[in-house]
Amino acid sequence: MKKYIALFAAALLALAMIVSVGAAGDKTVVYLKDGGAGDGSSPDAAVGNLFAAYDALDLSKDCTVVVCGVFTQSEAFSYMVEYAGSVTFTSVYGGTDYRTSGAAYHFDPARFVCWGATTFEQMDFVANSTNLLVIGQCHPLKVGEGVTMTGDKMTGGSIAKAFCLLGGYQDGQDEPPFESDKDTNITVLSGSKMYIVPFSRKILGTFTGTANIYIGGNAEVTVLHCSAAYPDGVEVGDLKVTITDNAVIKNVYGCTQDTTINAVEFTWNSGTIGVFEWVCSYTAGKLFTCNTPTKLIASKAVQATPEYATIAANFDTIATLGETPTVPVVTAAPVETTTAAPAVTTAAPVETTTAAPAVTTAAPVETTKAPETTKAPAAPVEDPAAPTTTAAPATPAPAESGSNVGVIVGIIVAVVVVAAVVVVVIKKKGNK
C-alpha cells in the first residue's frame, strides 16, 4: 500500500511542477533592453525581448515595461494571448529617466500587435528605416505625454512611412474577423510622423463599432484617415474625433477607397486642422458615403481662426460647443462625395516627401514584416518589391500561443486516473 501512496504523491508533485511552469508571470514591472538575459527585475537583470517581458508580467493587472537602454524591435511581435490588464511602455520609472543615458526604442519595419490595452509614454522611438505598424485589434491604444518619433526615412505621409496606429484589425494578422461591433479607442497626446486609421486595414468587411479618436497635448498627426484603409466596399460604424490643446492634424482624409460610414462627428475645441478632404485628392473618383449628416462642433475660439470657414464648409451640421446646432440637421438621403474638397491654402502643407499614400495603388507595397505568430523568430523581411497579398499569412500554432491549459488538463486527468487505480488496488487488497 505504501508503494501506491508514493506513486500517488509523485503524480501530485509532477502536476504541481507543471502548473508552476505554466503559470503567468508575477511581476507588474519588468525592465527591457538589448542583450538583457535576466528575469527583468532590475536594469542590471533586464530581459532582452518583448516575449520575455510579457511572459514575466501578471497581465491580469496594470503592468509597466521600462525601456532602460537601447532596445531594438527587429521582428513582428504578436503575443497571441489576450489579457484583461494593461501594459505601459516607458523610459521614466522610479524617479529615473533612462533617456538621459541613451534609452530608446528602435525599430526596423515591423508590426506590434496588441492583445490588451497598450500605452506608450515618456519614451523615444527611433525608426531605423521606414515604419512601425501598431495594430490595436479593438483594444485601447494610447500615445501619452513625452513621446518622440524620429527617423530620416519616416515622414508620416503614408502607412508605409509612418508610426501608424490602427484601431481595428489587419488582414493576414492573427485570423481577423470580417465582422465586428467592437469599439476602437485611440488617444494621442504627443509624438509626430503619425498616421491614424480608426478601423480596419485591407479587410473587406463590416465593422459597426464606434471609433473614438482623441488628439491633444502637443501631438502632431500627419494623416487622420477617417475610416478603413482598403479595400473598396468596406462598411464602418460611427467616428467621433476630438482635437484639443495644441494638437495638429496636417491632413484629414475621409477615405482613399469606396467606403460607407454610418456617422461622423468632429469636436474641435482647439488645435489646428490643415487639409480636409472627404475623398483624398490622390484617389479622386472614389466614393465616401455617410449614412447620416456629418457634424462639426467647434469652440468660439476655433470659429474665430482663419481656417475655420474652409474646414466647416465640409460638414452638413455645424454647432458651437455648449450650444445647439447653427445649421439644421438634414434628414434627406445619405451624403455622397466623389471629389475632394478644395485644399486649404492657409493650413500646413501636405507632406511633400511622399508622392501619394501607400494605400493609393491597387497593390501597395507592404514594408512591414510578415506576422510572427509564435515565440520563434519571425519570418525574414518581405521583399519590398512584392505586394503583401502574395505572402500567405502565418497560421498560429495553438501549442505556441502562450497557454499551457491543454497540458495542465491532461496532467490533471492523468492524476485522477492514477488516483482511481490506487483506490481500486487498495480495495482489492482489503478484500483479500
Q: pLDDT tens across 353-389, in order?
A: 333 444 333 333 344 444 444 443 333 333 333 333 3
- pLDDT on residue 308: 98
| pLDDT over 90 (residue 49) | yes
Torsion angle (degrees, nearest 10) of CA 334, 340, 343, 348: 80
Boundaries of every domain in the chain: 108-401
- pLDDT on residue 324: 67
Express each pLDDT in 219-256 by its tens digit. Answer: 999 999 999 999 999 999 999 999 999 999 999 999 99
Residue type, 35: G
CA-to-CA separations, 114 to 100, 228, 377, in angstroms, rounded: 28, 18, 18
Gap between the Cα atoms of 231 and 233, Å rounded? 6
DSSP state of 316: S
* Weakest-pLDDT range from 127-136, 268-277, 325-334, 343-352: 343-352
Helix (H, G, I), strand (E, B) or coil at 268: strand
Average pLDDT over residues 315-343: 61
The single residue listed with the C-alpha cell 500554432 is 397
The confidence band for 322, taking pLDDT boundaries of 50, 70 and 90, is confident
DSSP state of 134: E
Q: And the C-alpha cell for 153? A: 526615412
Average pLDDT over residues 150-168: 97
The confidence band for 174, taking pLDDT boundaries of 50, 70 and 90, is very high
* Weakest-pLDDT range from 138-142, 320-324, 339-343: 339-343
- Alpha-carbon torsion 191, 197, 198, 200, what sign? negative
The confidence band for 323, taking pLDDT boundaries of 50, 70 and 90, is confident
Q: What is the DSSP string of 138-186?
A: TS-EEE-TTEEEE-TT--SSSGGGSEEEESS-BTTSS---SEE---EEE
38 alpha-carbon distance from chain centroid:
28
Segment (H or E) for 123: strand 123-127
| pLDDT over 50 (residue 82) | yes
| pLDDT over 90 (residue 426) | no
- pTM strictly above 0.85: no
Average pLDDT over residues 110-122: 98
Do the beta carbons of residue 125 and residue 103 sit within 8 Å?
no
Task: For helices 2-22 and 405-431, give the axis angle rounded to 10 degrees.
Answer: 170
Gap between the Cα atoms of 138 and 147, Å rounded? 22
Gap between the Cα atoms of 71 and 298, Å rounded? 42
